[in-house]
Amino acid sequence: MTGRIAAYLRAHAHRFARELAELVAFASVSSSPAAAPQLRRCANWLVRQLRQLGARDARLIATAGSPVVVARIGDDPRRPSVLIYGHYDVQPAEPVSAWRTPPFAPVVRGGYLHGRGASDAKGQLFAHLKAIEMLRALTGQLPVNVVFLIEGEEEIGSPHLPDLLGELAPYLASTAAVVSDNAVLALDRPSITYALRGDLYLDVEISGGFPELHSGNFGGAVHNALRVLVAALARLHRPTGAVALPGFSDRVVATAAPERAFMRSVGPSDRELGDEVGHRPLTASRAFSAYERSTIRPSIELVGVLGGYTGRGIRGVIPSRAEAKLDVRLVPDQRPDDVHRAIFDQLARAVPLGFELRTRERMRAAPVVLDRRHPVARAAQRAYRRGFSAEPVFVRAGGSIPIVSLLGEALRVPVVLMGFALPDDRAHGADERFSLAMLGKAVATSAAFLEEVAR
Ligand SMILES: [Zn+2]
């Protein structure tokens, strides 16, 4: 960080915190229909900020849900364009009684701004706005054209964004896209997440359509939907925890040896990962480390089972239907349709005649990998180095951020994850917070990124 940038951040730190508090004060809870006016007010606040930054065309685009904010700053065809994606909606704050201070009355305490959405993701989006403000103040111009796409439905799965992306593609055309909606390792340990697994979330149901039966009178004589479900689910894994589904990994692209060596050099060892998960026993594999099993290998997790009598005390009844939820994490080049079919077929082998097996897809997201040597990844690396005065670590994540694959596919643009949250920001939880020290580093990093992309 240069002296001029540090001086600017110091001089404006109080105003930055005050403006971020204004943004966090909107109770923009996308899952609550009653919050629609707050969502709209929050979107209009962003439009005003963007106009002040020189985006004369900043505007709301109506959808069947919350409006989307778009804006463009600069239109020089000789310069690269950077798309900055953000979301202004937040998770519900309930239970409000768990908060030390009200979730939508932001306060600064101990160097953090506290409030729902401070970290996920208003603080991260705000850093980009202030980076543009700072570049214009210090240099009089921007090194690139910038396009903003800020939605208000991320926390409910962005139901209206895919259609809109098609319509807006020419307006959003860009050289690189930035998504800031994830965490770095620590305030002094920046990181760039360059790979995410895809997601396929399935509801599974076994039903017979018969009435429930007395488990004494009929126990042993008839099939039990819950037992059938459990037997079917047991066919998905081996006792080691490895997936036992035939064909599941057939299309998985083998990770090259140098990449695996790189992962070993920067990623957690099995012991470190074990510490991180509170010494819960790890699944076993001779071929892959735990870090590899949760990033470059696909997984099937049983995340819910519902059936039979689950109340207190005793009720002896043979269930006629039962349900489960499966969260499947995908890697390149698995095909979600093939995986879904293979799971269905494997479960079906355990289902006796007279029972019906049904599966229903609840969510789907494609896996994402941005080559660490891609120029955009390199630009992000140099930007973090400048903004944090520390070397960023390239990490893979086992989770999924659907918007990343959505943007990449709809706009055919490399997407770089430039997160500015911290692992202990308590995103989605009570007393969510955003570090003001992080805000300064994030503003500097975002500004450096726009300069580095222009090189
Ligand atoms: Zn978020």
Give the pLDDT confidence of 175-185 residue by residue, as tens digits.
999 999 999 99
What pLDDT score does 169 carry?
A: 96
| Strand ordering across the sheet containing 107-109 | 107-109, 112-114, 433-435
How confident is the model at residue 351, as a pLDDT?
Answer: 97
Confidence of residue 397 (pLDDT cuts 50, 70, 90): very high
CA of 95 to the centre of ligand 1 (A): 19
Check pLDDT > 90 for residue 58: yes
CA–centroid distance, 13 to ligand 1, in Å, is: 24
Going by pLDDT thresholds of 50, 70 and 90, the confidence category of residue 2 is confident
pLDDT at 302 over 90: yes
Alpha carbon of 93 to ligand 1 centroid (Å): 14
Position 78 confidence tier, pLDDT thresholds 50, 70, 90: very high
> How confident is residue 84, by pLDDT bands cut at 50, 70 and 90?
very high
Query: What are the angstrom distances between the C-alpha of 16 and each of 7, 54, 60, 206, 447?
Result: 14, 18, 24, 55, 15
pLDDT for 210: 87
> Cα–Cα distance between 453 and 169 in angstroms, integer?
21
Question: In angstroms, what is the span from residue 421 Cα to ligand 1's centroid?
Answer: 10
Q: What is the token pair recorded at 13?
A: 């730190």
Peptide linkage before 327 cis (omega within 30 of 0): no
The tens digit of pLDDT for each residue in 220-268 reads 999 999 999 999 999 999 999 999 999 999 999 999 999 999 999 999 9
What whole-number distance in Å separates Cα of residue 434 and Cα of residue 95? Answer: 20
High-pLDDT (> 90) share of the chain, %: 96
Residue 1 has pLDDT above 80, yes or no: no
Distance from Cα 178 to the centre of ligand 1, integer Å? 13
Q: Which of 395, 30, 29, 340 is CA-nearest to residue 199? A: 340
Which residues lie at CB < 5 A from ion ligand 1?
A: 120-121, 181
Q: CB burial class (10 A; 0-12, 13-18, 19+) of residue 294?
A: buried
One-character DSSP codes across 325-381: EEEEEE-TT--HHHHHHHHHHHHHTTPPTT-EEEEEEEEEE--EE--TTSHHHHHHH
Measure 224 CA to ligand 1 centroid, in angstroms. 42
Whether the model pTM is above 0.85: yes
Mean pLDDT of 386-412: 95
| Cα 307 to averaged position of ligand 1 atoms, centre (Å) | 33
Smallest Cα–Cα separation from 441: which of 139, 5, 4?
Answer: 5
| pLDDT, average across residues 176-202 | 97
Tokens of 450: 């726009």
Instruction: Using alpha carbons only, give the angle 429, 434, 435 rounded to the nearest 5 degrees.
Output: 135
pLDDT at 383: 98
Which residues lie closer than 8 Å to 452 by C-beta, 6 or more apart?
378, 379, 380, 382, 383
What confidence tens digit (pLDDT) does each residue in 337-384 have? 999 999 999 999 999 999 999 999 999 999 999 999 999 999 999 999
Average pLDDT over residues 293-297: 97
pLDDT at 277: 87
Q: How far apart are CA 73 and CA 135, in angstroms?
A: 12
- Per-residue confidence (pLDDT) for residue 77, from 0 to 100: 92
Report DSSP state, residue 400.
-
**Quick one: average pLDDT of 193-214?**
95
8-state DSSP, 121 = I
Mean pLDDT of 158-166: 95
Contacts (Cβ under 8 Å, ≥6 apart) of 410: 162, 165, 166, 169
Residue with tokens 């990124």, as numbered in its chain:
449
Contact (Cβ atoms closer than 8 angstroms) between residue 352 and residue 192? no
Do β-strands 299-307 and 368-369 pair in parallel, antiparallel, or remain unpaired?
Answer: unpaired
Residue 95: asked if its preceding bond is cis (omega within 30°), the reply is yes
Structure tokens at 179: 């998504």
Ligand 1 centroid vs 153 CA: distance in angstroms?
A: 10
Query: What is the whole-number distance in angstroms between the Cα of residue 367 and the centre of ligand 1?
Result: 18
Task: Report CA(10)–ligand 1 centroid distance (Å).
Answer: 27
Sign of CA dihedral 106, 110, 111, 117: negative
| H-type alpha helices, 140-244 | 161-172, 225-234
How far, in Å, from the CA of 179 to the mean position of ligand 1? 10
Ligand 1 centroid from CA 432, angstroms: 12
Q: Is the confidence at residue 419, as pLDDT, over 90? A: yes
pLDDT of residue 269: 96
What does the pLDDT read at residue 276? 86
Side-chain-side CA neighbours of residue 150 (13 Å) = 32
Rg of the chain in Å (alpha carbons): 24
* pLDDT confidence of residue 27: 98
Predicted local confidence at residue 407, as pLDDT: 96
Q: Are 408 and 85 in contact (CB under 8 A)?
A: no
Using pLDDT thresholds of 50, 70 and 90, give the confidence band for residue 209: confident
